[in-house]
Amino acid sequence: PEDCGVFHCRGCWTVLGDSLQLCGQEPPGLSVFICFKVTSDVTWEDSLLVGLEGALLGCTYYLLSCRSCGLAVGFILYSSGGNLAYLRGLFCFFKDSIICYLLKKQMIIEASKVNFPAVTLKE
């Protein structure tokens, strides 16, 4: 497909996921890719964290890390207000923690500069 990309850890270039698993649009205030699935190189602990500021204020979530280098690469939202409810249980990659490799163009690009086709979750 034309617009396929692979998501790599910014710290060590480990493959974390790909654009075929994208399943939602980035919410206001969060710079993330939202995915259904990730690779086995993405890990998270059983302990919940609480958002103390920004878009995740008052939310609880599991922090996602790269298995290879330990870099925090995103989160899985556990509980939130209604505006972020659609993200619960999904994998959210921080755009500033990953690099994208675009398959067709064979180039590496900052995740914040990539525009994948719009994907929406059905209610």
Give pLDDT tens digits for 22-72.
887 788 889 999 999 999 999 998 999 999 998 999 999 999 999 999 999
Question: DSSP character for 88?
Answer: B
Distance CA 98, CA 113 (A): 11
Contact between 100 and 110 (Cβ < 8 Å):
yes
- Domain coordinates of the chain in residue numbers? 5-113
Can you spell out the DSSP letters for 66-82? ETTT--EEEEEEEE--G
pLDDT above 60 for 85: yes
Cβ-Cβ contacts under 8 Å for 117 (sequence gap 6 or more): 3
Q: Which residue has the higher pLDDT, 6 or 118?
A: 6
In degrees to the nearest 10, what's the CA dihedral of 56, 62, 67, 68?
30
Domain boundaries 5-113, CATH class: mainly beta
Predicted pLDDT of residue 87: 92
